């Protein structure tokens, strides 16, 4: 660089040269040639190949997908825990009501069936609301991300909603069964007394 400045009589201006190759064979030959040309420790030349840029871009995409996936998993876990909490709170807060219903003649099987249907209704309601919200918010978020990242392409997929249906249905069935089995260990009189 010093020699170039001295010989030119002024400031050395770095030059940038871009070129493309006709096919992959020519690209590999150009890679080898440039690698040999710039291999020396004191070589004033440097180059950045398409392969390097592709590799960096692939790493960036992987990081983007990893962070997005982790955030989605965290939000999904929070949603599941919230559903679990809402179901348990609803059942626990109505213990007295359930004890009164049993005292006036509701059979344990009827109560358990009612709780299971209620849990399944909550589960399907949650999935339906999530589906409608994803239909409304998805295109807006996709448009925003598409304007931020040129490589982003929005595609609506129903798969995440379909994957949550069995999980929510299982929780909607399992939580009422567990809560009922726990409450059934006590007599109706004890349940009425505890609920006060």
CA 89 vs CA 95, 101, 138, 151, 179: distances in Å:
10, 19, 31, 45, 10
Q: Over the stretch 162-196, which tens digit does the pLDDT of each residue have?
A: 888 898 899 889 988 888 887 777 777 776 666 55
Distance CA 26, CA 38 (A): 18
Q: Over the stretch 34-67, which tens digit does the pLDDT of each residue have?
A: 888 888 777 777 778 878 888 898 998 899 889 9
**Cβ–Cβ under 8 Å, residues 154 and 143:** yes
Higher pLDDT, 140 or 189: 140
**φ, ψ for residue 92, nearest 5 deg:** -65, -35
Distance CA 113, CA 11 (A): 86
For residue 42, the model assigns a pLDDT of 76
Kindly indicate the confidence band of residue 116, based on its pLDDT and cuts at 50, 70 and 90.
Answer: very high
For residue 88, the model assigns a pLDDT of 87
**Cβ–Cβ under 8 Å, residues 24 and 16:** no
Could you state, in order of their start, the residue ranges of all structural domains in the chain?
2-37, 65-195
For residue 114, the model assigns a pLDDT of 92
Higher pLDDT, 59 or 14: 59
Instruction: Indicate whether 74 pLDDT > 90.
Output: yes
For residue 10, the model assigns a pLDDT of 65
Tell me the helix, strand and coil percentages in the chain, rounded to 5: 75, 0, 25
Distance CA 27, CA 31 (A): 6
* Mean pLDDT of all residues belonging to the chain: 83
């Amino acid at each position: 660089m010093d020699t170039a400045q001295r010989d030119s009589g002024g400031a050395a201006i770095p030059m940038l040269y871009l070129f493309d190759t006709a096919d992959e064979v020519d690209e590999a030959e150009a890679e080898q040639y440039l690698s040999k040309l710039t291999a020396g420790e004191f070589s004033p030349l440097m180059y950045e190949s398409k392969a390097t840029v592709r590799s960096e871009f692939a790493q960036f995409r992987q990081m983007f997908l990893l962070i997005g996936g982790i955030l989605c998993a965290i939000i999904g876990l929070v949603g599941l825990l919230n559903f679990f909490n809402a179901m348990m709170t609803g059942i626990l807060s109505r213990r007295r009501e359930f004890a009164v219903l049993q005292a006036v003649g509701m059979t344990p099987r009827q109560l358990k069936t009612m709780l299971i249907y209620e849990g399944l209704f909550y589960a399907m309601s949650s999935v339906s609301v999530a589906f409608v919200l994803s239909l409304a918010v998805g295109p807006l978020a996709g448009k925003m991300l598409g304007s931020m990242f040129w490589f982003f392409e929005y595609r609506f997929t129903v798969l995440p909603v379909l994957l949550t249906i069995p999980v929510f249905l299982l929780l909607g069935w399992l939580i009422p069964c567990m809560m009922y089995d726990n409450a059934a260990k006590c007599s109706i009189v004890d349940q009425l007394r505890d609920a006060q």
